[in-house]
Structures are given as structure tokens and as C-alpha cells.
Amino acid sequence: MLGQVMPIPSHALAAIAAVVLSAAELASAKGTARHRTPGWAWVGLMSYVAASLFFISSLRLWGPFSPIHLLSIWALFSPVTVVHHARHGNIRQHRIWIVLFYILALLLTGVFTLWPGRVMHGGLFGV
């Protein structure tokens, strides 16, 4: 049990930091150092969140894995795609991938993380 719980705090803190950083990124002028520098931090945080999920297996449907692990595979691929589009000047695709990444990897998973019976729900609401 302890091995399953240990990665959760750092995973959760990185995800919360990414949510907060997302707000700053959305408010910043695009294409500037004030956008790129936090953007790299966001990519790092999201990569950590996706990778650290493979050490969390409280929901087990296929051995130690669950559907959320499929999203993590996608979330490890997405930062590469996001950066690729930005570096090649395809800002429309960069924006589409960022929005998809944000919605799927942070907002949707956040809803399921806080679902009754999950570790984070119990930690936040004591139930």
C-alpha cells in the first residue's frame, strides 16, 4: 500500500502547479520569452505528471493499469507535438494541441481524480 501512495503527493502537486501555470500562460503575450519560459516549465510539469502516473496503480483493470494510463501514454507524446508545432511556426496546431492537452490531461483527469472513493477525494473531503 505504501508503495502505491508515495508517488501521489508529488504527482498531485505537479498537476496543481501545471493548472496554476496554465492560467499564467493563457494570460501572457504569446511568442515572447514571458510565454516560452513558463511554457517549458509547463511541458516539464506535464511530462512529470504523465510519467509519474505509471507508479500509481490504485485502479487496476489490466494488471497494474487502468484507462488513465492510456491517457498518460498520449500525454507523454503530446509535449513533443506541442513544441514541434510551435518551433515550426504552426501556431494554429500548437494552440489546438495545447487546449486538447489541457482539457484531457488536467481538467478531465482532475474530475475523475476527485471522484468519490478515490484517494484525492478522501484526502480533500475526508470521506
The count of structural domains within the chain is 1
- Describe the crossing of helices 67-87 and 33-52 by its angle, rounded to 10 degrees: 160
Which mean pLDDT values do the consecutive 10-residue runs of the chain (127 residues) have? 62 89 86 88 91 74 66 85 94 92 81 76 75
Residue range 33-59, pLDDT digits in tens: 888 899 999 999 989 988 888 787 666
Q: Is the pTM of this model over 0.85?
A: no
Cβ count near 34 (within 10 Å): 14
Domain of residue 54: give its range: 2-125
DSSP the chain: -HHHHTHHHHHHHHHHHHHHHHHHHHHSPTTSHHHHHHHHHHHHHHHHHHHHGGG--SS-SBTTB-HHHHHHHHHHHHHHHHHHHHHTT-HHHHHHHHHHHHIIIIIIHHHHHTSTTSHHHHHHH--
